[in-house]
Amino acid sequence: MSRRALITGITGQDGSYLAELLLSKGYAVHGLVQRVELEDPTRRLSRIGRIRDRVHLHEGDLTSFPRVCEAMGEVQPQECYHLAAQSFVSYSFDDEYSTLNTNVNGTHYALAAMKALAPACRFFFAASSEMFGKAEEAPQSETTRFHPRSSYGISKACGFELTRNYREAYGLHASSGILFNHESPRRGYEFVTRKITSGIARILAGQSTELRLGNLEAKRDWGHAREYVEAMWLMLQQPEADDYVIATGENHSVREFVELAFEHAGLEWQKHVRTSTELLRPAEENVLLGDASKARAKLGWRPKTRFPELVNEMVEADCGALGAAVGQTATVD
């Protein structure tokens, strides 16, 4: 009888890669999806389109405790990967209340439902480098103090504490992955990396001439999402639950991403990129840089995709999607 996994956020970037990984390992994969997604599958389920008939989808709203309980009881998972959240930092400034409601209550309900109905289930919580925020040391490790700078970061710190409390107080196998930024061709368009690469594709396709960005000097530690979900699975295979930073140990600025991406596309970025103060956040992080040595030592996990390869893969995927050609050298218009 195959191992059963329940993934919240299965339709997202990480959820889709994780579902594929678990299917390849012979799991019975279940996902929690919202009603509105099931009603618009072509768009809303697009990342899991190819595996749609191999996964079991359960309709439910994370913020409804009774429904979360029902789903947990129906599936009786051995592993639960809680990836669903309002995950865009910028939006969390626009609507703090929904962000906190979804992210704090969603995590709390999942943990409580699991404790009540499937206490032997192993739980993964998607924590984030955004908890470090205005980081008090660099690089950041599992012992670095939190200083979140947005309601998103605050909500993730809360979820991290809840996960740890359920582990310590009730002995649940509950772990947090403190994942630094992880991208891919499946990244949401609102996130800066995808915004850049899809913006380049639209420029090449003649659909636009300009790309408006916020703080070009922000630095992040960027990895490939496909590799990061492997770390999630590895955490749940450990005899003891624990928390791990997942990161590449390198950071790069948005400006560097822009430069590499435009160069790969054969465009001059200064001709197309405009910075807009409106896109600056009320509170910025300074430098996020992760120390994943614990994951390397205990899980045997290491990142593989380097920054230039990540950038190129995303540029080519977006250009391919629009049928636009990618040049190798910068041209002068």
Partner 1 sequence: MSQRKALITGITGQDGSYLLELLLAKGYQVHGVVRRVALEDPEHRMSRILPHLDEVQLHSASLESYPSLHHVVARVQPDECYHLAAQSYVGYSFDDEFSTFNTNINGTHYLLGVLKHVAPHCRFYFAGTSEMFGMAEAAPQSETTRFHPRSSYGISKVCGFDLTRNYREAYGMHASSGILFNHESPRRGYEFVTRKITSGIARILAGAATELRLGNLEAKRDWGHAREYVEAMWLMLQQPEADDYVVATGESHSVREFVELAFAHAGLDWNAYVRESSELYRPAEVNSLLGDASKARARLGWQPGTTFEQLVREMVEADCHALGVAAPEASRAAGA
The catalytic residues are 128, 130, 152
| Residues paired with 121 in a beta bridge | none
Q: Is 107 near partner 1 (CB under 8 A)?
A: no
58, 82, 122, 149: which one contacts partner 1 (CB under 8 A)? 149
Q: Is 288 near partner 1 (CB under 8 A)?
A: no
State residue 276 phi and psi, 5-degree precision: -125, 125
Q: Is 145 near partner 1 (CB under 8 A)?
A: yes
8, 87, 151, 305: which one contacts partner 1 (CB under 8 A)? 151
Q: Is 214 near partner 1 (CB under 8 A)?
A: no
Print the binding letters for residues 54-73 with partner 1: x by CB under 8 A, - otherwise: -----------x--------
Print the binding letters for residues 81-100 with partner 1: x by CB under 8 A, - otherwise: ------------x--xx--x
Q: How far is the CB of 158 from partner 1 (least distance, A)?
A: 5
Q: Which is nearer to partner 1, 34 or 141 (CB)?
A: 141
Print the binding letters for residues 154-173 with partner 1: x by CB under 8 A, - otherwise: x--xx--xx-xx--xxx---
Q: Which residues lie closer than 8 Å to 83 by C-beta, 6 or more apart? A: 7, 8, 9, 10, 12, 14, 15, 18, 124, 126
Q: Which is nearer to partner 1, 237 or 277 (CB)?
A: 277
Q: Which is nearer to partner 1, 280 or 321 (CB)?
A: 280
User: Using CB under 8 A as the criterion, which residues of the chain lie in contact with partner 1 when the complex forms?
Assistant: 65, 93, 96-97, 100, 104-105, 108, 112, 134, 143, 145-151, 153-154, 157-158, 161-162, 164-165, 168-170, 281-283
